[in-house]
Structure 1
Amino acid sequence: MKKTAMILMLAIFLVSFNTPAYAETINEADTELCDTLKYALINSLREPVDQAIADIYKDDEDAPEGLTWDSYDTEILKIKQLYGVGGAYEITLKVYPYYRAHISYGEDVIVVNADGEVIDYEHLKTYPSVDFD
């Protein structure tokens, strides 16, 4: 009887001090969580997008030097899941390359996979270059 009472008291003691742990996502960014995830995804694809922009404008003689792009000005058009949950993904982005103080030079659609490889790209529009001389 003493053994059973001791086990019961030990069980009550252990259960009473069991503090549940609640997990909560902590967002330490200046944007809502959804926007933060969007920008994180876009920024993780910076190298392949840079490569695609260089390829798109390499033969454009009028293209200004130093074309770049920003994640906040990039749209995610589509995320295609290829092989089911946890499989490969293709991300389609609409990118607006610019030069100098955010002077737009074009619009491009770039398709990359989640591994950071350029799958396809399409140049949509070129804006006239502004000369400041």
Structure 2
Amino acid sequence: MKKLTIFLTLIISLVSYDTPAFSQTVNEADTELCETIKYALINSLREPIDKAISEIYKDDEGAPESLMWASYDTEILKIKQLYGVGGAYEITLKVKPYYRAHITYGEDIIVVSADGKLIDYEHLKTYLRMDFN
């Protein structure tokens, strides 16, 4: 009986001193964590977005040759979960290609998968091109 009492006392004391472990995410960026994750996701999809922009503007004779886009000017419109938690995702983005000193040339909707495949794209509008000669 004495061993049982000591054993129960030991178990109760160990359980009562159980302290929860808290972990904190370290964010070493100049933005809030949510914004940092957003930019990281968008930048990881750079290749299919570049491909979509080149496809959209390849037949546009007025398009500047060096169209670029910026992750900070790109909106995530929707993230669609396809097969349950941890499954595949489709990410719908609104991208505004620009030229020179960030002069916006157009607006496009681009749909990519989280693993970096271009799914679909749609051109929304083209802005007037400004020449500074």
Could you state the TM-score of these two structures normalised by the residue count of structure 1?
A: 0.85
Amino acid at match of 2:102: H
Q: Which residue number corresponds to residue 3 of structure 1?
A: none
Structure 1 residue 56 corresponds to structure 2 residue 71: no
Q: Which residue number corresponds to residue 33 of structure 2?
A: 33
Distance in 1 separating the partners of 2:86 and 2:96 = 30
Q: Which residue number corresponds to residue 129 of structure 1?
A: 129
Coordinate RMSD, CA, aligned: 2.3
SS at match of 1:107: strand
Residues matched between the structures, number: 133
Shift of 1:20: 6.8
Q: Which residue number corresponds to residue 70 of structure 1?
A: 70
Q: Deviations over 1:14-64 (max 9, x none)?
A: xxxx99753210111111111111111111101100000000000001000
Q: Which moved more, 1:18-27 or 1:53-62?
A: 18-27
Amino acid at match of 2:67: L
Amino acid at match of 1:66: S
Distance in 2 separating the partners of 1:20 and 1:70 = 42
Runs of 4+ in 1 over 4 A off after TM superposition: 18-21
Distance in 1 separating the partners of 2:86 and 2:80 = 12
Q: Which runs of 5+ in 1 are unaligned?
A: 1-10, 12-17
Q: Which runs of 5+ in 2 are unaligned?
A: 1-10, 12-17
Q: Which residue number corresponds to residue 24 of structure 1?
A: 24
Structure 1 residue 102 corresponds to structure 2 residue 90: no
Could you state the TM-score of these two structures normalised by the residue count of structure 2?
A: 0.85
Q: Which moved more, 1:37-46 or 1:20-29?
A: 20-29
Identity %: 78
Structure 1 residue 42 corresponds to structure 2 residue 42: yes
Structure 1 residue 118 corresponds to structure 2 residue 118: yes
SS at match of 1:65: coil
Shift of 1:130: 0.7
